[in-house]
């Protein structure tokens, strides 16, 4: 029987939560339940908002998809925090761009 090829894909925490919830808790193993618990606690937006934010960060600010996903997963609250996600400090990012990213995140931040 031919094996399916595996592929790696970066996912937002809300997407992981949604995928695991769709399995149903009775079908999950212990590891999957732990991941669901984590994803439930640390989802910062809905799945739809997270995907829209990733797309906006890539299109409007020229971020790599992986950078955008990490930013959406963590929802940084300051320019300094946003800067930490961008290229590990290997390039200088204009403050105006960082402020724009922060403004976009603030508009979609879950109210707690």
At residue 100, does pLDDT exceed 90?
A: yes
Average pLDDT over the chain reads 89
**What is the tens place of the pLDDT at every residue in 22-35?**
998 889 999 999 99
What is the average pLDDT across 92-96?
84
Q: What pLDDT, on a 0 to 100 scale, did the predictor assign at position 7?
A: 84
Q: Which CATH number fits domain 47-108: 2.60.40, 1.10.150, 1.20.1630, 1.20.1740?
A: 1.10.150
Residues of the chain with CATH 1.10.150: 47-108
The alpha carbons of the chain give a radius of gyration, in whole angstroms, of: 16
Residue 71 near residue 82, CB atoms below 8 Å = yes
Tokens of 106: 């603030």
Residue 78 near residue 102, CB atoms below 8 Å = yes
Q: What pLDDT, on a 0 to 100 scale, did the predictor assign at position 78?
A: 93
């Amino acid at each position: 029987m031919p094996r399916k090829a595996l592929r790696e894909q970066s996912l937002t925490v809300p997407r992981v939560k949604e995928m695991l919830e769709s399995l149903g808790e009775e079908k999950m193993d212990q590891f999957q339940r732990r991941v669901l618990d984590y994803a439930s606690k640390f989802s910062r937006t809905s799945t739809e908002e997270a995907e829209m934010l990733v797309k906006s960060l890539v299109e409007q600010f020229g971020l790599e998809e992986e950078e955008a996903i990490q930013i959406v997963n963590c929802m940084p609250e300051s320019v300094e925090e946003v800067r930490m996600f961008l290229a590990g400090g290997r390039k200088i990012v204009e403050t105006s761009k960082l402020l724009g990213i922060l403004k976009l995140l603030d508009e979609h931040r879950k109210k707690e």
